[in-house]
Amino acid sequence: MSAINSRAVQCSAQVVSNKKVGAYHHIILSVDSIAAAARPGNFVAIAVGGASSSLVLRRAFAIYRAADKGSAGGVIELVVAPHGEGSKWLTARQVHETVDLVGPLGTSFGIPTEPVRCILVGGGYGSAPLFGLAEILKARGCRVDMVLGASSAGKIYAPLDGKRSVSSMTITTDDGSAGMHGRVSEALSQIIEENGSELIYSCGPMAMLEAIQEIADKYNLVHQASVEESMACGIGVCMTCVVPLRGSDGVIRMSRTCIDGPVMDGANVIWNSRGSIPEGTWGA
Amino acid sequence: MFNYSTSLGSTVLPNPIVTASGCAGSGKELSQFFPLTELGAIVTKSIMLKPRSGRATPRMAETPSGMLNSIGLQGPGIDSFLENDIPWLQSQSARIIVSIAGESVEDYASLARRVRNIPNVVGIEVNISCPNVENRGMVFSCQPDTARAAIENVRRNIGGEVPIFAKLSPDVTDIVAIAREVVNAGADGLALINTVLGMVIDVNTMRPKLAQKTGGLSGPAIRPIAVRAIYQVRAALPKIPIIGMGGVASGKDALELVLAGASAISVGTATFGNPTAVMKIKQELESLLTERGFDNFVDAVGFAHRMESL
């Protein structure tokens, strides 16, 4: 792709709703045309902290769901964990306040044209973009098995209405406080073998995505992974959010996760390369 | 009618607001948010002779009112740049300031030969001050002799076709001495300032946050350093045009650098926080100058120095 999402625009988005759900905030923003342009896997970049803030960088948030309401405009929904200064600021916004938002940004999950047996794997708030994806896949007649993992029960984001779109839902927690005791990757093999899964979609921490890729390789499955690397701008100009990615020409390039991602073909990502440049990378 | 035009040596720009190298790519992404012709000029990401992967990640850490970056001049190399980026920028009718960076003083000569005579290229920024290199001895602008050698190599290969601007680091004891050296070596103007070398340690991992430990600090945190550097150099070399940069995020910030002596303003990190920051700054600066009774932008350049001359 290597070009900014051609639908991306900047807008002043009004907060329609902001509710605490477990460890997260579910936020609805009025965004006009961005809702119609958004695809599952796309993200938005939001300015945080207000005009005189010392937080100078935009924050990227995966779109949880988008709803186009025609002439009435559209809304997008976000699931935000108030961890850092920027996300704490955003989750403190009141209804009717506005935020400066750019979107939709990045690549989206590829949707199969025929019914395919899919597994959707989310880690922590990484589950956010998977529910909108599940709805679309279900509508296409796909089997959708979802696996959500987190460190503990409170960090699983799995709203009741989201569960309607999935054929099965498996929860794993590192501490065993909910669902299976262990990591999502440990649950995957059994689900793949039971359901004859053909395609994996994932979103979450890089270590989890890498573990999923190993399983995808073992079963020879396509793996579309939504990756994560520190981002300063979200629009492709800062060059901070890169990961080594093998292109269609076989060449590894340090590729922007905001432009060539966040959704990448997991088989083409050179995993576990944080802190070094893989040998053979273009220009290394 | 306010006259916003400015002069950078032999180049005249319709307004003084330009991008900062490394903060706008080669313009394609920003063109989705505004026409590039709205800019005085686009300053492209520093280009090197060969493709370069840049440094390992993590490359970025946010800091109070700023950020550290450790990109390490990732880029496609001059061949691809001339083949792809320049024709595209020409198709947009953008005025282009090409930023070049070398690993050796000879590289600067080779790069200069490639960029000296290109339609729409209105200036060359010679980046001799990128802090993200393995060897601090490679920061050419940190020593007078290497700074001079790099600029001489560019000057020898570029006659009067297009003005050349030496981009300097503030990480020196006496920036005026370096400025004099590069002007004597043939620089038509100066670009002040590059990022300031910094470091952040993650108190959870108890290790440096950036893979390569150090990075360049940018953003409003360094603005007073930029204002000081521009002011000092303007006082010493009042006839040399300066492209000022360092933490400009508003028209008021831009005005500070103009009053210190900048004839053009580069906007960098602010674009990361807001893709239309340059447009906002352009409008705000014009309003502030008009409010203060200026009919011509150029009359405000270096205006803060008048107290000393009166």
Q: Tens digits of per-residue pLDDT, A55-107? A: 999 999 999 999 987 766 799 999 999 989 999 999 999 999 999 999 999 99
Single-letter amino acid, residue A112: P
Backbone angles phi, psi at A101, to 5 degrees: -130, 140
Domains of chain A, residue spans: 9-105, 117-226, 231-284
pLDDT confidence bin for B226, thresholds 50/70/90? very high
Judged by CB atoms closer than 8 Å, whether chains meet at B67 and A284 is answered as no
In angstroms, the CA B70 to CA B83 distance is: 27
Active site residue B142: no
Of A6, A55, A229, the CB nearest to B57: A229
Q: Looking at domain B6-54+71-197+217-309, does it have CATH number 3.20.20.70?
A: yes
Q: Rounded to a whole number, what is the distance in Å from the CA of B55 to chain A's nearest CA? A: 7
pLDDT confidence bin for B308, thresholds 50/70/90? low
Beta bridge partners of A121: A147, A202
Of B45, B66, B276, the CB nearest to A56: B66
Verdict on whether the full-model pTM lies above 0.90: yes
pLDDT confidence bin for B134, thresholds 50/70/90? low
**Radius of gyration of chain A from its Cα atoms, rounded to whole angstroms:** 18
Judged by CB atoms closer than 8 Å, whether chains meet at A240 and B71 is answered as yes
At residue B309, the pLDDT reads 55
CB B279 within 8 A of CB B265: no
In angstroms, the CA B87 to CA B263 distance is: 27
What are the chain B neighbours of A238 within 8 Å (beta carbons)?
23, 60, 69, 71, 272
SS3 B127: strand
In angstroms, the CA A90 to CA A46 distance is: 9
Mean residue pLDDT of chain A comes to 93
Judged by CB atoms closer than 8 Å, whether chains meet at B56 and A277 is answered as yes
pLDDT confidence bin for B44, thresholds 50/70/90? very high
At residue A72, the pLDDT reads 65
Judged by CB atoms closer than 8 Å, whether chains meet at B275 and A230 is answered as no
Mutate: best of B31, B48, B59, partner A, most A CBs <10 A:
B59
- Distance between alpha carbon B305 and the CA centroid of its chain, in Å? 23
Q: Which residue of B has its CA nearest to A253?
A: B53
Q: Which residue of B has its CA nearest to A59?
A: B273
Q: Which of B39, B121, B126, B130 is catalytic?
A: B130
Domains of chain B, residue spans: 6-54+71-197+217-309
CB A280 within 8 A of CB A250: no
Instruction: State the residue for tokens 């099965």.
Output: A168
Q: Which residue of B has its CA nearest to A258?
A: B29
Backbone angles phi, psi at A199, to 5 degrees: -145, 135
pLDDT confidence bin for A228, thresholds 50/70/90? confident
Q: Rounded to a whole number, what is the distance in Å from the CA of A141 to chain B's nearest CA? A: 36
Tokens of A163: 């569960």
Output the CA–CA distances (angstroms, integers) from residue B100 to A50, A80, B19, B111, in the order listed: 36, 41, 15, 7
In angstroms, the CA B45 to CA B30 distance is: 13
Q: How confident is the model over A113-167, as pLDDT tens digits?
A: 999 999 999 998 888 899 999 999 999 999 999 999 999 988 888 777 777 889 9
In angstroms, the CA A150 to CA B267 distance is: 41
What are the chain A neighbours of B46 within 8 Å (beta carbons)?
none
The ipTM is 0.94
What are the chain B neighbours of A102 within 8 Å (beta carbons)?
275
| Fold of the A9-105 domain | Elongation Factor Tu (Ef-tu); domain 3 (2.40.30)
What are the chain B neighbours of A105 within 8 Å (beta carbons)?
none
Q: Which residue of A has its CA nearest to B45?
A: A237
Neighbouring C-beta atoms of residue B282, cutoff 10 Å: 22
At residue B161, the pLDDT reads 85
- pLDDT over 60 at B137, yes or no: no
Which listed CATH number (3.40.190.10, 3.40.50.720, 3.40.50.80, 3.30.300.130) goes with A117-226? 3.40.50.80
User: Mean pLDDT across the stretch B140-154?
Assistant: 93
